[in-house]
Amino acid sequence: MDQIKWWAIESEEAIKLLNSDVRGLNEEERRKRLEKYGLNEIRGREKTPLEIFIKQFKNPIMLVLIVSTFAFIFLNFIAEAVVVFIIVIISALVGFLQEWKSENIIKELKRFMMLKALVYSNGKVLEVDSRYLVPGDVILVEAGMKVPADARILESKELSVDEAILTGESFPVNKDAKKVDEDASLPERTCMIYAGTLVTTGWAKALVVATGNSTEVGKISKSVESAEVTTPLLKKLAKFSKQLSIGITLVAIFTFLLGVIRGYDPVYVFVAALSFAVAVIPEVLPAMVTMTLAFGVRDMAKKNALVKSLPAVETLGSVNVICTDKTGTLTQNKMKVVKIVTNEAEFDLDSYVTLGEREDVRKLIIAGYLCNTAVCESGKCRGDPMEIALLDLAMKFDIKVDFELIDQIPFDSKRKYMAVAVRFDEKMYVIVKGAPEVLKNMVGGNIPEFEKYAEMGMRVLAFAWKEVEDFRTFSLFKLENLEFLGYQCFIDPPRDDAAESISKCKEAGIRVIMITGDHPATAATIAGWIGIDGKAVSGRELEKMSMDEAVKNYSVFARVSPEQKFEIVKALKKQGNVVAVTGDGVNDAPALKLADCGVAMGSGSEVSKEAADIVLLDDSFSTIVNAVEVGRDIFRKMQRIIAWLLPASGGQGSIVLAAFLFGIALPMSPIHVLWINTITAGLLGMMLVFEKMEEDLLRMKPTKGEIMNKKILFRIAYLSLACVILAYYLYFDIGKSSAAVNGVIAFQAWYLLTPYLDKSFFRVGFRNKFAVLGILATLLIQIAITNAAIMKLEPMSVEEWLKVIAFGSLGFIIVELERLIEAAFRKLRVRA
């Protein structure tokens, strides 16, 4: 079947070749074909646990550690070799666990993101999981959908498809059912639609001809998009690690030369320099940061926010402007027709139960029933909420019309109307629904006032029709001189938590801007209900003013075009803001792409989901606020990891450097330096990853700047120096290497209690239970190996242990003093 050139044969022949029917396959036949062809998914060979584990040994840092292990063995320093080997295994296990966990998390998220397809079965349209499509299925695709399989078009209307994923062509391709030459290249096959491409306009009925690995995209790629965890932050850390490695190598060489010049044994100096290099390399840092990101993705998923792109996790912590839709995000997206307005009168539907008997009302309801793409069957409805509300109203008044659809113009946000040509009651009508200001021109300009309904918070749809004698296609028909039927007015009440979420954003220093296609009066009313300040500005008014000034002065934008939404986001970014944008439609994609963080609605189009970084399963604005909170927590947690790990590594390495620099005795042997690195990085440091979410994050201002800031660098410098001073003091005072070793470990354990950059331990307390457990475990391990004289550690008395632990609190005390001094200076600045 792969050899058939489906684009070169007529659609009827394609149906025969696949033994299908234009009404679709029945369920039994679909089940048989599914067994024959398999699931419609691109199947690639997944990495085995062993492959992931072996991969951990292929990075430069691990190679340095492995070479160091063999160097120690060659020089007959077996104990040192064993310790470095332990470091290698711990680092590999940490890396393996984080990658394995990350892949499983992303697999689970992909399950939530599974594509849905509309498939015909015995003439009825069903929504199914796209994995269960089979060759011979007849599918329906509409604007905003991702094509679920390769298919031959049977019929279409104004269909255009973005095929950039396959062809690289940046502009959508117009499609129809006409066959093309058998030698046509893929971009020229205008009667075919391909899996993974995006429908930008119109609709089509199409015959599935290939699924899974047999699709064009399946032939290009043997596996689903890779879940490789790589982000701008990790790239910066990788660059930092390379620079650090070069610096460490140079310092290690300098240390070796200095030691030899000062008369130390060259072998001993070499081992010491090598130990210095191993100790200073933060080998677990990338794994710890990646685990933090992966756990953050999982936490966001629990809050109904699916993260497609890990950089979005980093960005969320810095967002200070959110541009949000109104319908479905700030409101319940449960449309209900509450008022009907005709040329003769207006009626509140809750007050009138016999309206269906009025001819003018009946015509208006029939128009809403016929000019509609929503489908309601067996109590379940699928489609646009406003169109579902129109069907609900018709059913309420027991209005159901048998009709034949002849032609249609799909709704488009630029046109702001939809039109159908239908035959019913033995007559032919052209029916139009859309924005009142657009239909005004089609009916000659004489329509009732509609602004007052919008000012009451309602969305207003206008309806008009015209009886026609001979209709062939809209391309030969002018929409003019129509009969105005009236308005149907909808209400979509705000979500219960919308006002609270807006209030949280204000407290968090985040400005909320509403961008909607609604009438300005409707937008302003809803905005006022939920606490978004300021009056609304319309798209027409925007055309006459500077966009830079508009985004400074307005927070409610109504009746804007997709291009204007894009320009609003562009202007906000130009002013230095970090912008998150929500969207659900095809035309929202440019703004979602431009935003620092694009947020698509789970109920929205596949095009918007494709362009976004995050997808909201519940479409709720409060979920965005929760995701921002998680993003801030992740950002600050990564800062704490770096602020703890690098002073620890710097202090250990500086102890070796200081000995040779000043020509004094090394307070510990190379194996001790290696062991400190193992127990602190492998046990203590990992506890920071599992810390629960920080409190009061939304009361803080958005984060700014790099993960590695001046404050962290300053802390690395003074804590590394303090660690060196402590090690030498305890060594010379007590006279045992074990005192220096345990003093450095105690120093880092105490510091683990207060790694925050701006919060005192006395404010936070013992909230990180994992840190407390890690400290107790480390203490027990050190007491055991010290008293057992393992690794040449001298046993210590109770008094010596108490002294070491007490003096180990030096780092804790210094950090707390730093915060007190900083707070005092802050108060002085405020007074000044």
Sheet holding 336-341, edge to edge: 346-348, 336-341, 483-491, 459-468, 427-434, 417-424, 404-412
380 is written with which tokens? Answer: 């379940």
CB 562, CB 555: distance < 8 Å: no
Which string of DSSP letters, residue by residue, matches 626-642? HHHHHHHHHHHHHHHHH
Cβ neighbors of 700 (< 8 A, separation 6 or more) are 508, 509, 632
Q: What is the DSSP letter of 81?
A: H
Rounded-to-integer distance, Cα 728 and Cα 734, Å: 10
Query: What DSSP element (H or E) covers 127?
Result: strand 124-129
Angle of the 78-112 helix axis to the 285-302 helix axis, nearest 10 = 20
Cβ neighbors of 724 (< 8 A, separation 6 or more) are 651, 654, 655, 658
Give first-to-last CA distance, the chain, whole Å: 81
CA-based nearest residue to 209, from 376, 52, 430, 3:
3
Grouping H, G, I as helix, E, B as strand and the rest as coil, residue 216 is: helix
33 is written with which tokens? Answer: 């074909």
Residues designated as active site: 325
Rounded-to-integer distance, Cα 782 and Cα 771, Å: 16
CB 645, CB 682: distance < 8 Å: no
In SS3 terms, 776-813 reads as: HHHHHHHHHHHHCCHHHCCCCCHHHHHHHHHHHCHHHH
Query: Rg (Cα) of the chain, in Å, rounded?
Result: 34
CB 597, CB 311: distance < 8 Å: no
Rounded-to-integer distance, Cα 375 and Cα 120, Å: 13
CA-based nearest residue to 288, from 785, 731, 707, 778:
707
Q: How many residues does the chain have?
A: 832
H helices of 3-128, in order, are 11-17, 27-37, 49-55, 60-74, 78-112
Rounded-to-integer distance, Cα 199 and Cα 146, Å: 6
CA angle 709, 310, 55 (to 5 degrees): 95
The dihedral through the CA atoms of 67, 71, 76, 80 has a sign that is: negative
